[in-house]
């Protein structure tokens, strides 16, 4: 692996994001660059290339008040977005050329008859476990909080009767496209209510947020806040179906299945690139 490869860059930026998140605004550029075994100038160029802003500017996006500012300034009213046709294959925030949902009957069979390929990949948010069927990516999770074995068990348990094949070589092109914000496909495997919630999440533009209450209203179940929260938490395709963009009404982060540090980092990353 060379120091010019995308995989190497993902590892460097992933480590840097974790260090910034853990140590806060007191961390200097020089100290951070030293931790990454780079000169300050080289590290700042690389970081700005991948994140879109300088490390110091990114630190500002990680402050505790950032989620509340997002809610004040970039609160997407999903009902309006859905009514104006921003959901479905015409929108999908420029990430996906298409998505398909498994039928309720197929879902009830626990993935029986499906072949799901999986592999581990570097991402800006730590090691990412990605799973895909022939129709597209169906699962993405992160290992930093729970560990690789638990993350794998977590996703496998969603579709216990599927056949699993470790095949990162076959998956790499679609994973690199997805992480590079280029067109790819998704295969949504869930119950009908869950899929409604996940479709609503797909209508939230990059760099914006919404609330669990807004999602409930947008899918026609305005009182189902708790059920919406559960469905958001069960989203199997983290990052690509942007459950990290759902906040509590008061601006609190709420929960995140793969750990709140990941959620905070994702929101900061997207807001920084959107501002740029």
CATH number at residue 253: 1.10.10.10
Structure confidence at residue 98 (pLDDT): 67
Residues 167 and 255 in one domain: yes
Among 63, 84, 110, identify where a domain stops.
63
Residues 25 and 89 in one domain: no
Structure confidence at residue 3 (pLDDT): 52
Task: Give the start-end residues of each E strand in 134-191.
Answer: 136-142, 163-166, 184-188
Residues 45 and 84 in one domain: no
Residues 179 and 269 in one domain: yes
Would you say residue 1 lies in a domain?
no
Structure confidence at residue 90 (pLDDT): 38
243 is catalytic: yes
Averages of pLDDT over runs of 10 residues in the chain (276 residues) are 57 80 82 91 86 80 66 66 42 53 81 95 89 95 92 96 97 90 84 90 86 90 91 94 90 86 85 76
Residues 126 and 209 in one domain: yes
Q: Is 96 helix (H, G, I), strand (E, B) or coil?
A: strand
Among 36, 63, 90, identify where a domain stops.
63
Query: Could you list the residue range(s) of the whole structural domain that residue 251 is in?
Result: 71-275
Residues 12 and 132 in one domain: no
Residues 115 and 163 in one domain: yes
Structure confidence at residue 206 (pLDDT): 83
d(CA 268, CA 18): 12
Structure confidence at residue 23 (pLDDT): 81
Domain count for the chain, please give it.
2
Residue of 151, 243, 267, 272 marked active site: 243
Residues 191 and 226 in one domain: yes
Paired tokens of 134: 């022939």
Paired tokens of 259: 């750990």
Among 46, 63, 80, identify where a domain stops.
63
d(CA 78, CA 82): 6
d(CA 276, CA 273): 5
Query: Is 246:209 a contact under the CB 8 Å cutoff?
Result: yes
Structure confidence at residue 95 (pLDDT): 45
Residues 104 and 46 in one domain: no
Structure confidence at residue 164 (pLDDT): 98
Residue closest to 62 by CA, chosen among 258, 247, 260: 260
Length of the chain, in residues? 276
Query: Is 113:159 a contact under the CB 8 Å cutoff?
Result: no
Would you say residue 206 lies in a domain?
yes
């Amino acid at each position: 692996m060379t120091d010019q490869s995308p995989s190497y860059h993902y590892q460097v930026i992933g480590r840097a994001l974790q260090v910034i998140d853990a140590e806060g605004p007191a961390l200097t550029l020089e100290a951070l660059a030293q931790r990454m075994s780079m000169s300050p100038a080289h590290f700042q160029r690389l970081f700005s290339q991948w994140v879109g802003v300088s490390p110091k500017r990114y630190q500002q996006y990680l402050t505790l008040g950032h989620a509340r500012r997002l809610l004040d300034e970039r609160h997407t009213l999903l009902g309006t977005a859905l009514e104006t046709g921003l959901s479905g294959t015409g929108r999908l925030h420029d990430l996906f050329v298409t998505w398909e949902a498994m039928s309720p009957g197929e879902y009830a069979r626990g993935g029986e008859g499906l072949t799901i390929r999986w592999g581990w990949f570097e991402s800006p948010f730590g090691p990412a476990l990605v799973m895909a069927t022939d129709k597209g990516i169906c699962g993405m999770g992160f290992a930093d909080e729970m560990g690789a074995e638990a993350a794998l068990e977590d996703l496998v348990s969603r579709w216990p009767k599927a056949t699993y094949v470790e095949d990162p070589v076959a998956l790499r092109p679609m994973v690199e496209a997805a992480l590079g914000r280029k067109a790819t496909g998704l295969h949504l495997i869930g119950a009908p209510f869950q899929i409604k919630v996940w479709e609503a999440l797909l209508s939230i533009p990059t760099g914006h947020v919404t609330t669990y209450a807004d999602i409930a209203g947008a899918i026609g179940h305005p009182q189902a806040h708790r059920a919406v929260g559960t469905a958001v938490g069960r989203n199997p395709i983290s990052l690509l179906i942007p459950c990290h963009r759902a906040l509590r009404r008061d601006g609190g982060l709420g929960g995140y299945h793969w750990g709140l540090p990941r959620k905070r980092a994702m929101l900061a990353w997207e807001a920084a690139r959107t501002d740029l």
